[in-house]
Chain A
Amino acid sequence: MKFKDAEHLLRMAFLFVAGLIVFVLLRNALVPRSFGQYGHYRGDALGEIKARPVAYAGHGTCETCHSDVLEVKDKGKHTHVACESCHGPLAKHADDPTAVQPEKLDTRVLCVRCHEANSAKPKSFPQVVSADHSAGLACNECHKPHTPVIEAEAKATGGKKK
């Protein structure tokens, strides 16, 4: 028996194929080219996240110009403290050293951030109750921040203070 009305089927097939073509074209246009490059995400996102400018230049950058400070710092206990830990983010200063200058720091604010006594701090970490310790004097009246040991004491103990 010959199947009548095959036209219906053809029409349906045509609609299906047309729908498929529209889907493939739309998908091609809408899905970003880099989607799936590494996984189920846009591969270009990695590049975009990478492109953010840095704010902290890193101590390696500081040391290329400020080797004199590095020498002083190496003699004391602050040798492992990075420059920008106290001086703040200075990538802009590294890009243009004359136009952007680091702020002057207030040691009364700066030093107590780390050295104010707190029972939760490790016992081996040097701590003081700043109100009792300095009687309102700025820390850098006695301690030079780059080599914090007091010089007279340093001479007596012969270098690094334990």
Chain B
Amino acid sequence: MNLSRRKFLILLPAAALAWESIKAGTPEAAPNYNVSQHWWAMLVDIEKCIGCGSCVRACQKENDVPDGYYRTWIERYRISEVDGVENIQVDSPDGGKNGFKPSNEQGLKEFFVPKMCNHCADSPCTQVCPVGATFASPDGVVLIDQKYCLGCRYCVQACPYGCRFIHPETNTAQKCTLCYHRITQGLTTACCEVCPTAARQLADLKNPKDPIHEYLRTHSVQVLKPHLATGAKLYYNGLDGAVR
């Protein structure tokens, strides 16, 4: 091939661009979504949760979660107090999927706590993965690469909130994806969509117009296990100290 130095130099940037596009892989499904402009979180208002289980059912349908496994679930706390000693009972029949039977005991402190992945900014689960299969995405969602996961269960043990499980068929770790396929299209998550009392709300902390900022400023909002410094982004309003 007879290629002059001049032509070679002209071709060089074009070749570099081509190489970059090969390296970048296939274009993403949502072309208008920019990962660097979002930082996802969720707000749960315990004072609004009625324990109806809509979120659990919706999550299972949206994400094909197998029976007996939960990406989100509801716990009912029943706390009695005798002589200053708290007795805490927690139940979650079928993850709260079909609601809760009324209790006959009187005089208890009772409330529901919806739980799911906290999408921690400094998550313990992603740090222990030996193959780089689980990671926090640039927009703050902790995800699992189903093609890379070996199913070694390190992350299941590392999660302090018990949010991960091994899928019985694929034998890979699975968990809440914060409905990543929905939020990147401008929809809210399935659980937030169906919540009849708006006890759960998706929030984008990088969006200055998101009502979450006003809410966090004016309410006493807490995360689970703050002493672990996981950078949890599942914010609870009205969280009782008994909740673990």
Which residues of A does B touch, CB under 8 Å?
33-35, 37-56, 58-60, 80-82, 84-85, 88-89, 113-114, 116-122, 125
CB-based contact B181/A52 at 8 Å: yes
CB-based contact A48/B147 at 8 Å: yes
CB-based contact A40/B29 at 8 Å: no
Residue in B27, B29, B145 whose beta carbon sits within 8 Å of that of A41 in the complex: B145
Residues of chain B from 94 to 153 with CB closer than 8 A to chain A in the complex? 99-103, 106, 108, 110-112, 132-138, 143, 145-148
| A residues in contact with B106, CB < 8 Å | 119
CB-based contact B24/A37 at 8 Å: yes
| A residues in contact with B53, CB < 8 Å | 113
Which residue of chain B lies nearest to A52 when distances are taken between CB atoms in the complex? B181
Q: For the complex, is B62 an interface residue (Cβ under 8 Å from A)?
A: yes
Q: Once the chains are docked, how many angstroms separate the CA of A85 from the CA of B200?
A: 13
Stretch at the interface among B10-18, B186-194, B209-217, B228-236: B186-194
Q: Interface of chain A, helix or strand or loop or mixed? A: loop
Which residue of chain A lies nearest to B33 when distances are taken between CB atoms in the complex? A50
Known interface pairs A33-B25, A49-B181; A85-B110 also in contact (CB < 8 Å): no
Nearest CB of chain A from residue B16's CB, rounded to whole Å: 15
| A residues in contact with B76, CB < 8 Å | 120
CB-based contact B58/A56 at 8 Å: yes
Nearest CB of chain B from residue A112's CB, rounded to whole Å: 8
Q: For the complex, is B52 an interface residue (Cβ under 8 Å from A)?
A: yes
Residues of chain B from 168 to 196 with CB closer than 8 A to chain A in the complex? 177, 180-182, 184-185, 187-188, 190, 193-196
Which residue of chain B lies nearest to A129 when distances are taken between CB atoms in the complex? B102
CB-based contact A55/B135 at 8 Å: no
Nearest CB of chain B from residue A50's CB, rounded to whole Å: 5
Which residue of chain B lies nearest to A54 when distances are taken between CB atoms in the complex? B182
CB-based contact A113/B177 at 8 Å: no
CB-based contact A58/B193 at 8 Å: yes
| A residues in contact with B63, CB < 8 Å | 52
